[in-house]
Amino acid sequence: MQYDFLVVGAGLSGTAAACELASHGSVLLVEAEASPGYHATGRSAALFTPHQGTLLVQAINRASAAFFAKPPVGFTDHPLLALRGGLTIAEPGQEHLLQDLLALSAPGRDVHPIDGETALKLAPILRAERIGAAVHEPGVADIDVAALHQGYLRELKRRGGKLICGQRISALDHQGGLWTARVPDALFQARVIVNAAGAWADHVAALAGVRPIGLVPKRRTAIIVDGLSGVDTRSMPTVDFTATDAYFKPDGDRIMASLGDQDPVEAQDIQPDEWEIAVLADWLQRETLLSVKRIGHSWAGLRTFVSDDSPVVGFDDAVPDFFWLAAQGGYGIMMAPALGRAAAALARHHDLTVELTTQGIDAADLCRSRQMPPPRG
């Protein structure tokens, strides 16, 4: 079976790109796991935080915003975003750490300093004595990740694209302008390989004889615990702690929390670490009025970065017809609409999409050969 594009990995990145490509050619989306979204995509905090990440990531987030606000007709029956707002807290003595965030304040970018009393009204489970200064971002929102992913999968099918699951690509061979991909049950041929394999993208590159881009998967652990009896926390903002990257947010009437850990690990079906969970529960009790009696749910996921913490999107510079869509780090859900469209344009040798160029982004900013510092030790 021969296709124009074979996309490796049915996380959100690969699915969005496959869907966008399916308007322009035949597409096969291949997923190693039994269902799409099993790895990073299914384990995120589901937040649209437009001011997080590198300046490039923030610009891509802004480019994605229009899609989230107004998805194409028929894409989904559910709103993709629900405004929640975000609060960033600095402990007493660490107020200066909020300066970088406050510097982003500009027309169209809602970032406001607020006093401790207002912060407590917004997030009544905080401890007053732990608040030195606070910043409010009304534009932070919850993303309906399942609706977004299902929308792309449905649209992919409607456009004639094909998804196969439970088939890990184990060999890639390029001859006569065609790639041949081996999976346990078949061989597929395609003109272009789109490598959206998340934490495994350097492994997939190795199968094709392509030099790695230095991806480092980093584990992040999260828990869900009961809320505070008698306090309605459902409409609370998400709360970040600027000194540590730790955060919590409501999950229905319970609370999801993470220390913002980022331990480098090998690509794998990552599981939460018991020690990390204990430290996280202890932190939550120190920073809030919550008393953690039991952990309702815990999980870990991989956020995968290159050394400059920005995504890599574009053809490889040495091996023809091998396209990278990788290194989405901790922002791959919110960047997916803009990067899916960008990948579909660049993988067809078209110019970068207007939504990204109007944010000041050039295709060279996204490619693997941009200047990147060596990986941090």
Ligand X SMILES: Cc1cc2nc3c(=O)[nH]c(=O)nc-3n(C[C@H](O)[C@H](O)[C@H](O)COP(=O)(O)OP(=O)(O)OC[C@H]3O[C@@H](n4cnc5c(N)ncnc54)[C@H](O)[C@@H]3O)c2cc1C
Pick one of 19, 21, 27, 45: the residue that binds ligand X (CB under 6 A). 45
How many residues of this chain bind ligand X (CB under 6 A)? 41
Least distance in angstroms from the C-beta of 144 to ligand X: 12
**Taking CB under 6 A as the rule, does residue 196 contact ligand X?**
yes
Please report whether residue 62 would count as binding ligand X according to CB under 6 A. Answer: no
SS3 for the chain is CEEEEEEECCCHHHHHHHHHHCCCCCEEEECCCCCCCCCHHHHCCCEECCCCCCHHHHHHHHHHHHHHHCCCCCCCCCCCEEECCEEEEECCCCHHHHHHHHCCCECCECCEEECHHHHHHHCCCECHHHCCEEEEECCCEEECHHHHHHHHHHHHHHCCCEEECCCCCCEEEEECCEEEEEECCEEEEEEEEEECCHHHHHHHHHHCCCCCCCCEEEEEEEEEEECCCCCCCCCCCEEEECCCCCEEEEECCEEEEECCCCEECCCCCCCCCHHHHHHHHHHHHHHECCCCCCEEEEEEEEEEECCCCCCEEEECCCCCCEEEEECCECCHHHHHHHHHHHHHHHCCCCCCCHHHHCCCCCHHHHCCCCCCCCCCC
Q: How far is the CB of 327 from ligand X (least distance, A)?
A: 8
Stretch of 18-26, 104-112, 192-200, 228-236 lying at the interface with ligand X (CB under 6 A): 192-200
Q: Which of 5, 39, 261, 323 binds ligand X (CB under 6 A)?
A: 39
**197: contact with ligand X by CB under 6 A:** yes
- Rounded to a whole number of angstroms, the minimum distance from the CB of residue 277 to ligand X is 13
Q: Does 332 bind ligand X (CB under 6 A)?
A: yes
Binding mask 204-223 toward ligand X (x if CB under 6 A, else -) reads x---------------x-x-
48/315 with CB nearer ligand X: 48
Asked if 14 is part of the footprint of ligand X (rule: CB under 6 A), the reply reads yes
Binders of ligand X among 242-261, rule CB under 6 A? 258
Q: Is 11 in the site for ligand X (CB under 6 A)?
A: yes
153 binds ligand X (CB under 6 A): no
Of the candidate spans 42-50, 64-72, 147-155, 279-287, the one that interacts with ligand X by CB under 6 A turns out to be 42-50
Residues that bind ligand X (CB under 6 A): 8-14, 30-33, 38-41, 43-47, 168-169, 196-200, 204, 220, 222, 258, 301-303, 328-334
